[in-house]
Structure 1
Amino acid sequence: MSPIIYLEALKSRLISFRTLQDELTIRDMPTALGWTLLLKKYEETEGNIQYRERWTSNLEDIYLNHIKYNSKVVYIYELSADIAYKLQSKLNILVSDESRFKDTFPLPVNEKDLKDSSFNPDIFEIETEGEDIRLFSSYKRAFRTRDEIQYSQFNGEKTSNALIETLNKYEEVYGLRTDYAQAIDCIILRSNKNRMEFHIDNSHDILLEEVAKVANYYKDRINKFIQKEFEINECLNTAINFYPKIKKLYEDADGQVTDYGHVTSSASVKHERMKRGIYDLRNEPFHQGGLAAVTTDGYSITKKWKTEGKKILPSLSISGRFSIAGQLDANIDFILINDCHSQNDFDMMLNKLFENA
């Protein structure tokens, strides 16, 4: 296997290039400024047997960590201990043996197979991680791309004068096209914590309304499965509400709060963000002065934590609208996870949400 294959796969998933640079540097591997130069560098060393095997293995590890732990929208449901225990030996029934995604996994399918795929999630793989069980699910996802249209491409003889005359009225012209990406989601059973989690792929920044549809699809499928296997109705009811965790994350002294949305007692809306993610908003004098003058209710937060040897810090976000701030029934049923390098990063941030709760 070539390291180029994994680099291309990471590029197709729109991994942050700075995150990839950080990963390569940690592993003492070649890096570059931008995708074009990086791919060229690895292509030029393709015949270097001394390094090829190690580079391929490292890039496979980076890629697997990316599809499991990075760019995820996470929903968490509580289970009874009885159902969590029973599901351990039953989840494999949900896995399709005929899925087109199974043959190439962990790499994506080719463009033709993706276009021929359904928009409905297809559970195709199961994996055990300690006491946790992970189901992989994949499907075709549509997204819009905006491209600038160059006038030069309309200068041919076949271009009508009317079209050229129309285009000449504008300084810039853009076109929208629909492209497809292969989403890779995970369903996690944490039987030791009596939880089920949906980790929905957000590598192409899809609308939260679309994410909610996917989460509801998994919820309905799991509920029907539990009903059929155990004759229990509506096991997964409402996802955990993360709104109260905004206050907890802000008040916990660890980490860096880099983004905070809040509404003041005088009814003004504040959204503060640090220019650089390594600094803590809570230590910023202007922010401290404001909180000393008025009380506020938070509606969104992003918090990061330092991890050994890494420049790009993993982040956890709880994102709500300002209209819910301070409401007793406010509800945010998902969190956003970004820039995770590993399972340790991911688990550390989830644990921060629930520790001392």
Structure 2
Amino acid sequence: MSLSSALKQLQTRNVKFTTLKTALTHNSMPTSNGWGGIEKKYADLNIPAATTSSYSSKLQKIYRDNIEYGDKAVQIAKFHNDLSHLFKSLLQVRFKMAFTPPKPFPEQLSLPDLKDLTLQPKLARVEYNGTRTGFTMYFYARAYETFKEKFPVDQMRDPISIRRFEGFDEVVAIKQIIYLRIDSVYVDIKDCRIEFFADATRLSSTDKMNEALLQLKAIFREVMIEQASDQWGIIAFPLINFFPKIHEVYNGAQGLLVQLGHNTAAGSINNSRMRASLGDLKQDPSHTASMASSTTIEKFSIKKAYSYYNDLSTVYLSIPGKSADTSMPVPTVTTAIIEDCIDGTQFNDMMQILR
């Protein structure tokens, strides 16, 4: 694959430029201050063929790592060991794929390829780990990113538009960009655990992430019923409650606190965050004063930053609860968000916190 093709492949993932720049630097590759600058720089490179091949391979690895470890909305279901037989029986299942992407992986799916995909995720790949104690299922879906812009009619100047929209106040233009969403499910046979990962690259809100996770769990259940056992249709997914982990993450020695939602001693709601997610909220005098005013402060959401590779890379872990959760008999938050990982080491560290 050429350098330009590898870069275009990355662009289809809509990788955050800061994350891409970090990954390029970590892999000792040329970088710039924008997509245009990077494209020009790589187009102008005068390097040996071996170096070109090495750079292309690294760009493809960055692409694959973004699929595996890029921005994810996470839910984890932990089952009782009484169901271990059900998990072990999955090793005998030969899953049938509902969608077969072009090879080799990673796939750069074009719009004609995507026509075979629906908005509902389809099982596209299953990969077992080396010890066959678990496997990952990849679900591909077609998705859309919608942009809307309004144009006041009284500001139009060309005669055709003036005649066409006479009597209207404004024109609303809607643009939809089609893209590939890759969700995944990891089934840990040994530990009777299922981890659901929604591709959050273009999901702009927690509500949209929860919708994606709900859809992913439903499709996963359908596949298991059809191809594994009817029993998957009656068992519940006992999702891990991340709410108690908010306090654990807050008091954890690692990472910088960049955002915290909590109820104050006076009964108000405080959503504090560091500007540009820089620095440690715990060092802010107003925050320490607020937290010291009562021993019964209820934390309901948190976001923490974890530094890697001599501060080159910063990974964010969020547990986005709501104030209303604290008033429930058993406060529950089942979704967490992991952002800006560039490799598996970072992602696995965040998952160890959540498990």
TM-score, with structure 2 as normaliser: 0.87
Query: How far does residue 232 in structure 1 lie from its aligned partner after superposition?
Result: 6.0
* 8 Å Cα contact 2:197-2:213 kept in structure 1: no
Query: How far does residue 46 in structure 1 lie from its aligned partner after superposition?
Result: 7.5
- Aligned counterpart, 1:333: 334
Kindly indicate whether residue 203 of structure 2 is the aligned counterpart of residue 205 of structure 1. Answer: yes
Letter in 2 for 1:328: P
Residue of structure 2 aligned with 1:140, choices 139, 142, 145? 142
Distance 1:213 1:102 in 2: 27
* 8 Å Cα contact 1:262-1:298 kept in structure 2: yes
* 8 Å Cα contact 1:259-1:271 kept in structure 2: yes
Query: How far does residue 35 in structure 1 lie from its aligned partner after superposition?
Result: 0.7
Please give the secondary structure, in 2, of the residue aligned with 1:341.
coil
* 8 Å Cα contact 1:262-1:325 kept in structure 2: no
- Aligned counterpart, 2:89: 86
User: What per-residue deviation string (whole Å, max 9, x for no partner) do you get for residues 253-295 of structure 1?
Assistant: 2221211111123220111111244522223222111111133
Distance 2:251 2:161 in 1: 63
Return closer, same or farther for 1:41/1:337 CA change in 2, 3 Å cut-off: same
Q: Map residues 21-40 of structure 1 onto 2, 5 A cutoff.
A: 21-40=21-40
Query: How far does residue 133 in structure 1 lie from its aligned partner after superposition?
Result: 1.2
Please give the secondary structure, in 1, of the residue aligned with 2:314.
coil
Distance 1:86 1:150 in 2: 62
Identity percentage over the alignment?
A: 23
Distance 1:283 1:329 in 2: 31
Which ranges in structure 2 are unaligned for 5 or more consecutive residues? Answer: none
Distance 1:94 1:150 in 2: 52
Which ranges in structure 1 are unaligned for 5 or more consecutive residues? Answer: none
* 8 Å Cα contact 2:121-2:216 kept in structure 1: no
- Aligned counterpart, 2:49: 49
Query: How far does residue 302 in structure 1 lie from its aligned partner after superposition?
Result: 0.9
Distance 1:311 1:176 in 2: 38
Return closer, same or farther for 1:353/1:116 CA change in 2, 3 Å cut-off: closer
Please give the secondary structure, in 2, of the residue aligned with 1:305.
strand
- Aligned counterpart, 1:347: 348
Please give the secondary structure, in 1, of the residue aligned with 2:92.
coil
Q: How many residues align?
A: 346
Return closer, same or farther for 1:185/1:310 CA change in 2, 3 Å cut-off: farther
Find runs of 4+ consecutive structure 1 residues off by over 4 angstroms: 147-151, 153-157, 164-167, 230-233
Query: How far does residue 309 in structure 1 lie from its aligned partner after superposition?
Result: 3.9
Distance 2:172 2:233 in 1: 50
